[in-house]
Structure 1
């Protein structure tokens, strides 16, 4: 399994080693809004700080973000929501011949009208970056059929795939949820697919050796999730969930820790510390190389990214009641190593969080391979079905009927 996982990880030849950048400018609005320049930089230009001074300043900044996380992940509701129709595109992040051929075929089908247009929710993210294309949020809309939603509260789930996912990743799950009467918004993470700047082949700016930009990407993702729920509420939806995979799992957890509306939570590959995953993960070794060459250590990186780490918000998450939680991890994961996933479960147990745990007998990349993709899909699909069904039962009279377990199994068959 380790050999298979390593081979899949090494298939991508376009990873770039980038040098360490502190990136304080990516969160300067927060720094200035809370009068932190003197405290962090002693009145100096951040660019003039030594490596050790900058590391101390980054640690202090993260502590401030965690202490003021309501403000950091707060936002003003967008006013420019719009549903647009366009042909789906793949937006690949690797340069494998098979992938590029697949991308070309989808473009050909769009040009000849062989495929149907899809609906996408677009709006301007309240968190602005230096890339206008990234700031225009994109979420493919999968509304459930009206007959499937009848007799229960309107339910919707926000789906966030893994880092460097193409635009088709997790779409099958969204279609599955529709069969359960659950609408889905498949959200493109910052710097992914149509939001990716033209200068990139991969979604590198979501996680990179620029520490501040990585923090800002997480902030934007969390706020975008919450904005999607605002739009769903405008459409009459009443109960909400979120499903995140890998990096999407981190974003989903932090969003849920800051928003009580997210009742159904599926975390597909989970860990405690953002920095530990990047430092030890097989698929992020190029990022570690750039950081290590500048003298940063694993402990330093853990502190530098504490504000985007689930462990910083676990107590907060635990205080929000009525959350139903699934945690899936892989036994032979070389990207989110199992020790960190087990640490997550220990924290959940210690805090009294009601969760289900499922273990895949594979690795991180092999989760997307048969038969493990089917097993993962069953874990996620069956949990989302049961969790939303339980939420509906709490909101409707006991006499109202709900689909049987047999019907659920029939719908979820791969």
Structure 2
């Protein structure tokens, strides 16, 4: 199984080792930066300060104004992201809409679907179509710097997660805010119960969005892990990013630099929110190393909040291959169907 995942990982031959950068210019639009100017702080100290301030008031950090330009054209939803970046392509959010037939007397339910890192515009479409067949309206959202939002200079979604530390935070903040905007749109359409499904990087985004949005009551996290820094440092698919990091920062410094986007820092809050999560993970995962997934579940048991956990006998990449993708699809749809 490990060999199969290694072969699937090796299919991508266009990974680039990019230079390290603190990326402090990406912090200027953060609400924390307005309250804490850099002054004499060194880059690491300043980014650490902004992370601490963001954690202290994460509702402010992930706060936003609802867009006023939602447009549904056929099955494509578009709107302007509240987070402005230097890339015009990335500033427009794209969602693919998979409507379900509405049965009389049934509640109108929907779920936001956040794909994995470097997903193409077509991927996760089959899952969304399957959800719609079972009565769950699905909105597949393009992540920042992905597919329709990818800057012309890129072949991969390198700006979503990279050795540019503050840009990685900014992309995550944008993903969380864009997701919450999608929930706003679904509410405007009259949906009464809304869930979220995230896979891999999309799972991290989904968790952060759910922590900061009580409307997302039913959650599916396909691949779950702990600190973003640890996943990037150890994960098979992010070794090219580590190469750009390790001569400039230690793992501990990287954790501090990415604290505000790391799920473990919000788990106590999540435990009090009465969510209905499904944690779906792979027993032979070398990208989100399995022991990290097991730590997530151990913490859930320790805190005693309601959850379901499913371990599939595959790796990270092979979860997207037959027969495991069908097994995952069954568990995802079943969890949503039972709880929305």
Do the two structures share a fold, i.e. TM-score over 0.5? yes
* Alignment gaps of 5+ in structure 2: none
CA apart distance, 1:10: 1.2
Q: 266, 273, 287: which is aligned to 1:313? A: 266
Partner of 2:235: 281
Q: Distance in 1 between matches of 2:25 and 2:10?
A: 33
CA apart distance, 1:31: 5.4
Matches within 5 A, 1:131-150: 131-147=87-103, 150=104
Q: Distance in 1 between matches of 2:212 and 2:102?
A: 31
Write the deviation string for residues 48-85 of structure 1: whole angstroms up to 9, x where unpaired. Answer: x7xxx322222222111111111110000100000124
Partner of 1:121: 77
Q: Distance in 2 between matches of 1:154 and 1:381?
A: 16
* Correspondence 1:19 to 2:19: yes
Q: 293, 297, 317: which is aligned to 1:345? A: 297
Matches within 5 A, 1:175-214: 175-214=129-168
Q: Structure 2 vs 1, CA of residues 73 and 31 (structure 1 numbering), >3 Å: closer, same or farther?
A: closer
Partner of 1:378: 330
Write the deviation string for residues 168-223 of structure 1: whole angstroms up to 9, x where unpaired. Answer: 11111111111221111000000110000010000110001111111011111111
Q: Pairwise CA RMSD of aligned residues? A: 1.3
Write the deviation string for residues 275-326 of structure 1: whole angstroms up to 9, x where unpaired. Answer: 10000000000000000132x12121111111111011111111212x1110
Write the deviation string for residues 318-358 of structure 1: whole angstroms up to 9, x where unpaired. Answer: 1212x111001111101000111011111112222210000
Q: How many residues align?
A: 340
* Alignment gaps of 5+ in structure 1: 86-118, 389-414
Partner SS for 2:35: coil
CA apart distance, 1:226: 0.7
Write the deviation string for residues 76-126 of structure 1: whole angstroms up to 9, x where unpaired. Answer: 0100000124xxxxxxxxxxxxxxxxxxxxxxxxxxxxxxxxx11100011
Q: Distance in 2 between matches of 1:176 and 1:374?
A: 10
Q: 65, 70, 91: which is aligned to 2:59? A: 70
Q: Distance in 2 between matches of 1:25 and 1:152?
A: 49
Q: 282, 297, 306: which is aligned to 1:330? A: 282
Partner SS for 1:205: coil
Q: Which has a greater percent of helix?
A: 1
Partner of 1:298: 251
Question: So what's the TM-score if we normalise by structure 2?
Answer: 0.97
Structure number, greater radius of gyration: 1
* Correspondence 1:245 to 2:234: no
Partner SS for 1:345: helix
Partner of 1:56: 45
Q: Structure 2 vs 1, CA of residues 263 and 54 (structure 1 numbering), >3 Å: closer, same or farther?
A: same
Question: So what's the TM-score if we normalise by structure 1?
Answer: 0.80
Q: Distance in 2 between matches of 1:82 and 1:30?
A: 27
